[in-house]
Structures are given as C-alpha cells and as structure tokens.
Structure 1
Amino acid sequence: MAIAGIAEFFHEIGRDLYTSLYIAIGGSIEEDSRDWTSRAVELASTAIKILILLAVLGAIYWLAIYILKKNKSRIRLNERRLAIIRSSLRYIWIVASLIAVMSQINIEPSTVKATAKASIWAGIYYVLWTSSGHIIHKILQHYGISASIEQLLNNILSVLILILGAASVLAQFGFDIVSLVAGLGIVGLAVGFAAQSTLANFIAGITILLEQSFQVGDWISLNNNEGRVVLISLRTTHILTRDNVTVIIPNATVASSEVINLTSKNFVRFDINVRIALEDDISEARKVILQVLSDTDVVLTRPESSATVSEIGDFGVIFIVRFWVKPASVARIPKIKEDLHEHIKIAFDAASISTPYPHMRLLMPKAVDYPIATKPFATTIEAAKPTDGKP
C-alpha cells in the first residue's frame, strides 16, 4: 500500500510537468489529446519568425551606423554627437527587438503597448538625463556661475529626472502614481528620522554649495587636512592632499569646522626664518636674501618680498623672510620653502656670511703669576724628571 501511494505521488508530479511543458509550447489545457508534433512545429515557426525579425532589425541598425560613419564629415558630426546618435540608435534597436519578440510569443497586446510607451518615456528621460549636465554647464558658463553651483544643480536635476522617469514608466503599466508617491513620502519620513546624520550632511552640502566659501579647485586647510577640493557632493567633500591621498569629510563636519581658504585671492603670502651670526652685517645679509627671492621664478615681484629682523637670539640674528606667490603655487609651498633655504645658504657661503649653530664659548681670565703656589709645583715636576734622559 505504501509503495502504491509513493508511485501515485510521483505519477502526479510527472503528469503536472507534462501538462506544464505542453502549455509552455502553446498548447491548451482543455485539449483532450495533446499533439506534440503540431506544437513543436508552431514553436519552431515562432522561433524562425523571431530570428528573422531580429535579423532584419539588426541589419537596419548596422546599416544606419555604417551610413552615419561614412557621412560623418559631410554632416559635420563631432565625436560627442556621433556617440549620442549611436546610443539612440542602439536603444531604438533594443526596444524594437524586445517588442518584436513579445508580439510573437502570445503576450497580451495591452502589455506590448504599455511596454512600447514605457520604452519611449524611458528613452526621452534618458536623453534628458545625459544632456542636462552639458546644457547646465553651457548656461552657467555663459553667466559666469561657479562649478560648485553647477554641481548642485546637476545633482538636483538628475534626481528629479530619475524620479519623474520612473513615475512615467510605472504609470504605463497601471500603477497609481499618486498613491505610490504618498507611500514613498511616508517611507521617506521614517527613513529621515532613522538617518539623521545623512540628512544633516545633505543639508550642510547644500549650504556649502550656496555660500561658496570655497569651491572646487580651491586649496583649503581643514582639521589638519590640507589639499585641493576636488568634489563637493551633497553628502561629503573630497580633498586631494599633496601626497595624492583623497580625504573624504562629511559635510556636517565641514560646515561646523574652521576652514582656511588659501586660494580665495589673487596671491598669498608665506614666510620662512633665516639666521645669521651676531658678528655678520645685517644689511649685507638682507641684500643677499632679497636677491635670492628675486631670482626665484615662483616668487612674485609685486607685492614686494621683505626680510626683516624678527629676533636677536642667543645664537644669532633671526630674519623673517616674507614672500608672495600665486594660488597655483600653493600646492608646491613645502618644496618652494626647501629650495629657498638651500639657495639662501649657498648665497650666504658665497658672501662669507656664516650660519650659526647652537654652541657655547668659554672665556677664561688671563693667567696670573702666583709665586708661592707655583714654585713648589714646578719643583715637584722638575724633581720627577729622570736624570739620565731615559724614560
């Protein structure tokens, strides 16, 4: 009895699989007799039709690409426009192939029609998404608006296009967009409470971009991190240091920290310390220092450099040397300072100006003749000398 039950169970599974396979190739469950031969012929016929349609569409696509390449110079297409047209043709080819396949495999006409409409809307929004950045760049460049604002507008417009595009595509398949947006609003409110730090960074990023206290390309110092701003996103700010290391800082930290913008003006001043000996001529040393600064290409002649005595220390006279450079040279300031120290030392040596180092000099009083104290000592030394000249 148990063996018969098991056999009946597997027989039912086999019969269900048999029926499912028959239905999958186009058969009907109401048919009393299942004609596998006719179904196979229909399936092969459908496959051949699909292959023919795909081949025709593929040939049209490649022919259009070939004509486009051959006439590129005649219709004056640059590489960017050519890439856009090729992407559009490729998208049309893929959508047409999908609809051709769907029309041959007994999919509901309403579904095929909805897919076609959704594909058209998706293509329109894709074109808007890819070209929005270029359009915004041209408009803002015309009005001289900074790259930071351009980045903010790009991010906001990209999000809006993606949201509207998704809503338009879903609407073609019967989704209630109003209810969906309301549901997303409630979910977004809950997520906002759960991700307060991310929301704070987002708001801080918008504030940074609108205030423009620093922009992309500026050299800033922030929390012991100094480097060039390479990206201001809605959540983080990216700084590229002199060591070619990218430091990613949350915008909330940037907004609440002290930021030093070293390249906000047309030129910036730096200084180094130089020391000479107390005995050397201060005027001559100043002349040598200024000459070295004048011979250095990155140091500006206007505003003028200066070399003034800041301190007379225990081991020499200390000059503070101030010089000006352009913002483009700020990234190389450590190397510029090192070169100035080296060139000033070489110039001092050539001008016989000594560079002092920490030392101590002991000054002893002159020797005084004390007869009582020295004679017994001398007598003792002489008595200790050998009389035969041998050691």
Structure 2
Amino acid sequence: MAIASITEFFQEIARDLHTSFYLAIGGTLEEETRDWSSRAADLASTGIKIIILLALVGFLYWLTIYILKHNQERLRLSERRLKITRSVLRYIWIVLSIIAVMSQTSVEPGTVKATAKASTWAGIYFVLWTTSGHVIHKVLEHYGLNASIEQLLKNVLSVLIIVLGMASVMAQFGFDIVSLVAGLGIAGLAVGFAAQSTLANFIAGITILMEQSFQVGDWISIGDKEGRVVLISLRTTHVLTRDNITIIVPNSNVASSEVINLTSKNFIRFDIRIRIAFEADIDAARAVILKVLEETNNVLARPETSATIDEIGEYGIFFKVRFWVTPAAVARMPKMKEGILENVKKALDAADIAIPYPHMRLLMPKDVDYPIPTKPFETTTHIATNKGNSD
C-alpha cells in the first residue's frame, strides 16, 4: 500500500513536469492530443529566428563600433566621448537583443512595447546621470565656484535623476506614480523619525557646503584631529591626516564642534620656544635664531620673523620665535619645527651660546668652617645665621 502511494506521488510529479514543459514550448491545455513533433518544429523555428535577429543586431553593433573607431579623428571624437558612445551603443545592443528574444516568444506585445519604452527612458536617464558631473564641473569652473558646491550639486542632481528615472521606467509598466509618490512621502516621514541622526548629518552637510567655512583642500583642526579635507559629502566629512589616515567625521559633529581652518588665508604664523642661559648674550642669540629662520625653506621673509623674550624662568631665558609660512607648508609643519630646533641648537653651539638644562646651584658662605666627617656615612648639620647690625 505504501509503495503504491509513493509510486503514484512520483507519477503525479512527472505528469506536472510533462505538462509544464509542453506549455513552455507553445502548447495549450485545450489540445486533446499533444503533438510533440509540431511543437518541436515551432520551437526550432523560433530559436532560428532568435539567432538570426541576435546575429543581425550584433553585426550592426560591431559595424558601428568599427566605423567610429576608424574614423575617430575625422569625427573629432576624444577618448572620453568615444568611451561614452561605445557605452551607449552597447546598451542599445543589449536592449535590442532582449526585445528580439521577447518578440519571438510568448510574451505579450504590450509587455514588449512597455519594455522598449522603459529601456529608452532608462538609457536617457543613464546618459544624464553619467554626464551630469562633467557638465556641473564645467559650469562651476566657468563661474569660479569651489569644489564644495560642486559636490553638493552633484549629489542632489544624482538623487533627482535616479528618482525621476525610476518613476519614468515604472510608469511604462502601468504603475500609478502619484499614488507611489504619496506612499513614499508617508514612508519618508516614518523613515525620518527612525533615522533622525542621518537626517541631522544630511542637513548639517548642506549647511557646511553652503556656508563654505572650509572647502575641499583646506587644512582644518576638529577637536584633537587635524588634516586636509578631501571630501565633503551630504552625510560625512573626510579628513586626511599627516599619517595618511582618513578620518570620517559625521557632519552633525562637524557643525557642532569648533573647527579651526588653518589655510583660509594666504599665510599662517607659527611659533616655537627656545631657551638660553642667563649669562648668554640675548642680542647674539637673537641674531643666530633669525639667521637660521632666514635660511629655512618655506619660511616667508614677509611678514618678518621675530624672536622676543617670552619668559625669564628658573633655568634660563625663553625666546618665543614667530615665523610665517604658506598654506602649502602646513602639512609639513611638525617636521619643519623639528628641523628649525635642530638647526638652532647647532647654530647656538657654534656661537658658544649655552642652552641650559634644569639644575640647582648651592651657594655656601666662604667664612664658615664646616666640620669634616671622620666616620663613614657620618653627617653634620650646620645652621648659619646672619645677624645684622641694629641702629
């Protein structure tokens, strides 16, 4: 009994597969007898037609590419334009191949027509999406606007093109775009409440790009992080440090933090501290320090450098040395300071100007006789008092 049930189960599966395959090659359920030979002939005929159409479309694609490649100079096509043209032709070739296959199969004519229209709209929006960045760059370059605004416009335009492209493609298959947009609006509100941090970063990114407090290429300091701005997107700001490490900072953090733009002006001042001994000649030391700065690359002659007394401390006299550099030298500032300090040390040594180290000097009266210890580790304590004469 069990074996018969299992056999009947597998027979039922075989019949279903047999029917499905027959329907796939063009047969119908209404036929009393299944004519496999005629179905096979129809299938072979359809396959031959599809192969002929695909070969014809492929030949036209190859011929067009051949003509463009061998007439590139005559048509004045640059490498970039030729690449774009080949991409468009390749897309047309793929779309025509799909439509050719659909037209020879059991796909309804309405679906084939909708696919052709949708593919056309998708191709148009794809071309707009790929060329929009170049167009925006040329327009902003003509009007002298910076790269930050360019990045903002590229992002906004890309989103608009993608949304409009999807709407146009879906409209060809009968989707109600108005209802879809309304549904997306309601869903957008729900997503907005669920992704408040992302929206905050987005709004902060637009604010940063519009205010232009700093731009791509500027050297900035955010908290304890410092580096060159390499990208300002709608969600994050990318900063490249001196260690070649990219720090990705959310725009909301950037907008709420104190940002120091080190390269917003034509030149920037830095300072270092140098210590000399109390007995050293201040003017001679100043001349040595200024001479080192004069011979240092990337240190500007105007505005003038300076070396002034900043502090008279416990262990020496401190100079504050101020010098100016261009924005291009900011990235190398730690190395520059190290080089200046090293060269100043060598120059002071050559001029016999001492650089003291922390020490303590004990001054003892000469007219006081101190007992000499006679036993190992014996110590004596002597308290000297000075008595003044009273009038």
Q: Which is worse superposed, 34-43 or 117-126?
A: 34-43
Aligned equivalent of 2:387: none
Aligned equivalent of 1:190: 190
User: What SS class does the counterpart of residue 280 from structure 1 fall into?
Assistant: coil
User: What SS class does the counterpart of residue 77 from structure 2 fall into?
Assistant: coil
Q: Which amino acid aligns with 1:40?
A: A
Q: Which amino acid aligns with 1:236?
A: T
Q: Which is worse superposed, 336-345 or 138-147?
A: 138-147
Aligned equivalent of 2:101: 101
Aligned equivalent of 1:144: 144
Shift of residue 96 of structure 1? Answer: 0.7
Q: CA RMSD in A?
A: 1.6
User: What SS class does the counterpart of residue 249 from structure 2 fall into?
Assistant: strand
Shift of residue 287 of structure 1? Answer: 0.7
Partners of 2:4 and 2:97 in 1: how far apart?
51
Q: Which amino acid aligns with 1:229?
A: V
1:21 has 2:38 as partner: no
Provide, for residues 94-152 of structure 1, a one-character-per-residue CA deviation record: whole Å limited to 9, x for no partner. Answer: 11111111111121111111011111101111111111111111111111111111111
User: What SS class does the counterpart of residue 160 from structure 1 fall into?
Assistant: helix
User: What SS class does the counterpart of residue 322 from structure 1 fall into?
Assistant: strand
Partners of 2:369 and 2:13 in 1: how far apart?
129
Provide, for residues 201-236 of structure 1, a one-character-per-residue CA deviation record: whole Å limited to 9, x for no partner. Answer: 111111111111111111111021101111111111
Taking a change above 3 Å as real, the CA distance of residues 369 and 155 of structure 1, as seen in their structure-2 partners, is closer
Aligned equivalent of 2:377: none
Aligned equivalent of 2:162: 162
1:271 has 2:271 as partner: yes
Shift of residue 48 of structure 1? Answer: 2.1
User: What SS class does the counterpart of residue 366 from structure 1 fall into?
Assistant: coil
Shift of residue 369 of structure 1? Answer: 7.3
- Superposition map of 1:303-314 within 5 A: 303-314=303-314
Shift of residue 5 of structure 1? Answer: 4.0
Partners of 2:116 and 2:284 in 1: how far apart?
86
Shift of residue 367 of structure 1? Answer: 5.9
Q: Which amino acid aligns with 1:123?
A: G
Shift of residue 11 of structure 1? Answer: 2.4
User: What SS class does the counterpart of residue 187 from structure 1 fall into?
Assistant: helix
Shift of residue 365 of structure 1? Answer: 3.0
Q: Which amino acid aligns with 2:316?
A: G
User: What SS class does the counterpart of residue 357 from structure 1 fall into?
Assistant: coil
Partners of 2:239 and 2:8 in 1: how far apart?
71
TM-score under structure 2 normalisation?
A: 0.92
User: What SS class does the counterpart of residue 284 from structure 2 fall into?
Assistant: helix
Aligned equivalent of 2:36: 36
Taking a change above 3 Å as real, the CA distance of residues 369 and 48 of structure 1, as seen in their structure-2 partners, is closer
Shift of residue 8 of structure 1? Answer: 3.1
Shift of residue 38 of structure 1? Answer: 2.0
Provide, for residues 222-258 of structure 1, a one-character-per-residue CA deviation record: whole Å limited to 9, x for no partner. Answer: 0211011111111111111111111111111111111
Q: Which amino acid aligns with 1:218?
A: D
Shift of residue 51 of structure 1? Answer: 1.8
Shift of residue 15 of structure 1? Answer: 1.3
Partners of 2:72 and 2:267 in 1: how far apart?
47
Shift of residue 368 of structure 1? Answer: 6.0
User: What SS class does the counterpart of residue 234 from structure 1 fall into?
Assistant: coil
Shift of residue 302 of structure 1? Answer: 0.8
Q: Which amino acid aligns with 2:166?
A: A
- Superposition map of 1:37-186 within 5 A: 37-186=37-186
Give the paired residue count.
373
Unaligned runs of 5+ in 2: 375-391
Shift of residue 193 of structure 1? Answer: 0.6
Shift of residue 356 of structure 1? Answer: 1.1
Q: Which amino acid aligns with 1:343?
A: N
Q: Which is worse superposed, 139-148 or 321-330?
A: 139-148
Partners of 1:78 and 1:363 in 2: how far apart?
86
Aligned equivalent of 1:241: 241
User: What SS class does the counterpart of residue 166 from structure 1 fall into?
Assistant: helix
Aligned equivalent of 2:363: 363
Partners of 2:191 and 2:58 in 1: how far apart?
46
Q: Which is worse superposed, 242-251 or 33-42?
A: 33-42
Taking a change above 3 Å as real, the CA distance of residues 312 and 49 of structure 1, as seen in their structure-2 partners, is same
Aligned equivalent of 1:388: none
User: What SS class does the counterpart of residue 318 from structure 1 fall into?
Assistant: strand
TM-score under structure 1 normalisation?
A: 0.92
Taking a change above 3 Å as real, the CA distance of residues 184 and 291 of structure 1, as seen in their structure-2 partners, is same
Unaligned runs of 5+ in 1: 378-391
Q: Which is worse superposed, 357-366 or 99-108?
A: 357-366
Partners of 1:351 and 1:175 in 2: how far apart?
87
User: What SS class does the counterpart of residue 234 from structure 2 fall into?
Assistant: coil
